[in-house]
Amino acid sequence: GNALVCPEFTEVIDGVEAVDSFSMNAHKWLLANNDCCAMWVKKPSALVAALGPEQDLILKDAASEGHNVVDYMDWTMTLTRRFRALKMWLVLRCYGIQGLRDHIRNHVRMAEAFEKMVKADERFEVVTDRKFALVCFRLRSQDKFGGADKQPANRLNRRLLEEVNAATSGPYMSSATVGGMFILRCAIGSTLTEDHHVSDAWKVVQDQATIILHD
């Protein structure tokens, strides 16, 4: 959702006009600190009907009873809420739309660079098409005959992930399983990430892979 501030990424929500609600976590990639979630609903009345505390009339006043204001306590389970909108307002005022677009595009560019480094090393493969700033990759199977058993390669990649994350001053990566394959996930999203961090992270991955394959 955060990437939609860039016009070139809006194609991923083709058909969004048919949805009833849309939720986006601005604290994940839009420079807002945790937690900050933006939500849009087509029919607020349906949300209020489900969550509004109609019986708690003591919490109402003339303005809310007359629907002259949006009473957000009717939109959630809780009756009170933190002023999260202030976070988003400050981000928009400080960075502007162009600053937010530059931020997203810079991370996507660095992810593209990481993807190219992975593809340049024949020991590795990119498992799924890169989306935005996420690169899913793994060490190729060491089975010369291309056996169907994925477990040896999975064990290899699990160990690689453990060693990468244990490396001093190294990156921290997560994992997933796609089609029975254990893969590593390199997600670039930190506000302070720069090009040298990406190249340093890849060197850590390569070095640990060399040690593992030598063993």
Candidates 153, 160, 193, 194; CA nearest to 174 is: 160
* Digit-coded pLDDT (tens) for 31-71: 998 888 888 888 888 888 877 666 565 566 676 666 667 77
Same domain, 94 and 115: no
What the block records as the tokens of 189 is 């999203």
Exposed, middle or buried: residue 113 (CB in 10 Å: 0-12, 13-18, 19+)?
Answer: middle
pLDDT at 57: 59
Its pTM stands at 0.82
Same domain, 75 and 155: no
* Digit-coded pLDDT (tens) for 96-150: 999 999 999 999 999 999 999 999 999 999 998 898 999 999 998 765 444 555 7
- Domain extent, residue 191, equals 104-214
Exposed, middle or buried: residue 201 (CB in 10 Å: 0-12, 13-18, 19+)?
Answer: buried
Q: Check pLDDT > 90 for residue 202.
A: yes
Same domain, 120 and 208: yes
